[in-house]
Amino acid sequence: MTLAYTPATGPLAAFELLQVSVGGAVVHVRLNRPAKRNALSDPLIQQLHACFVQLPDDCRAVVVSGEGQHFCAGLDLSELVARDIHSAMLHSRMWHAAFDAIQFGRVPVVVALHGAVVGGGLELAASAHIRVADRSAYYGLPEGQRGIFVGGGGSARIPRLMGVARMTDLMMTGRVYDAEEGLAVGLSQYVVEEGQALPKALALAERIAQNAPMSNFAVMHALPRIADQSQSEGLFTESLMAAVAESTPEAQDRLRAFLDGRAGKVVKGG
């Protein structure tokens, strides 16, 4: 982390369950319900959604983290009382809308994970583009034990990270992966020392924020869609995306800068 982060002003300052701060082009959104282990209540989901659709125009990347000892304990189980089928369906769709605003929003999202990353907390993490865990992080899907099913997009997103068989194992047996296991199966891309997930996530976001916005947009919007397409359709989508990205003035400037020796090279360990 190199930037100084100061509390957000304007609409992003108004969320009672989120603590939002801004450092340059990076917005840091902290789940702020530590007494309940950041359990995802309806208001918290609604505030997350509102926050992601109101990011300032100059925002280029977001970091999401959790206040307190855990990233997120998942669905607020105290709200799961006597919902009829229709309202349960609408509840799940509300989560989908919020997490879609994260995955398919304007800018890349890096999530910093520590402690419990369970149930809906893992669904939230799976909607981000890059996951950084510290050694205290652990992952579980206790829906099986609670008598419910994932409803926050987990069945669509989590198998794309670690496969259907592993998700089945976590949901059926209650198995919990530690941080290293999560890294090995693809749940996170980085594992760092305890307490270092947030600084690492901010540093990555600050670096991502320097990319051309169109390149970041292409990566977050085109890659998952191409992965869902047939090879023939995927290759065609890729050609369209490549043509759009390289024809932007920013791409032309950046390519010229490299050819003139004014841009950084690709370095080992960079």
Please give the residue ranges that form the binding site for ligand 1HE (CB under 6 A).
Answer: 36-37, 39, 69-70, 73-78, 95, 116, 118-120, 142-143, 146, 148, 150-152
Q: Which is nearer to ligand 1HE, 125 or 191 (CB)?
A: 125
- Name the residue number minimizing CB distance to ligand 1HE: 119
Burial 236-269 (b: 16+ CB within 10 A, else e): eeeeebeeebeeeeeeeebeeeeeeeeeeeeeee
Q: Which is nearer to ligand 1HE, 8 or 116 (CB)?
A: 116
Cα–Cα dist 220/240, whole Å: 15
CB of 76 to ligand 1HE, least distance (A): 4
Q: Which is nearer to ligand 1HE, 105 or 120 (CB)?
A: 120
CB of 19 to ligand 1HE, least distance (A): 18
User: Any alpha helices (H) in 84-163, and if so which ranges?
Assistant: 85-103, 120-126, 143-146, 154-162
Q: Is 194 labeled as catalytic in the residue annotation?
A: no
- What is the layout of strands, in order, in the sheet containing 6-7? 6-7, 18-23, 26-31, 61-66, 109-113, 130-134, 190-192
Q: Which is nearer to ligand 1HE, 4 or 85 (CB)?
A: 85
Q: Is 79 labeled as catalytic in the residue annotation?
A: no
CB of 214 to ligand 1HE, least distance (A): 33
Token pair, residue 208, equals 């991502």
Q: Which is nearer to ligand 1HE, 86 or 265 (CB)?
A: 86
CB of 124 to ligand 1HE, least distance (A): 9
Nearby residues of 51 by Cβ (< 8 Å), 6 or more positions away = 12, 15, 18, 20, 29
Q: Which of 79, 143, 233, 250 is catalytic?
A: 143
CB of 153 to ligand 1HE, least distance (A): 8
Burial 14-52 (b: 16+ CB within 10 A, else e): ebebbbbbbbbbbbbbbbbbeebbbbbbeebbebbbbbb
Q: Which of 16, 67, 79, 123 is catalytic?
A: 123
Catalytic residues: 123, 143
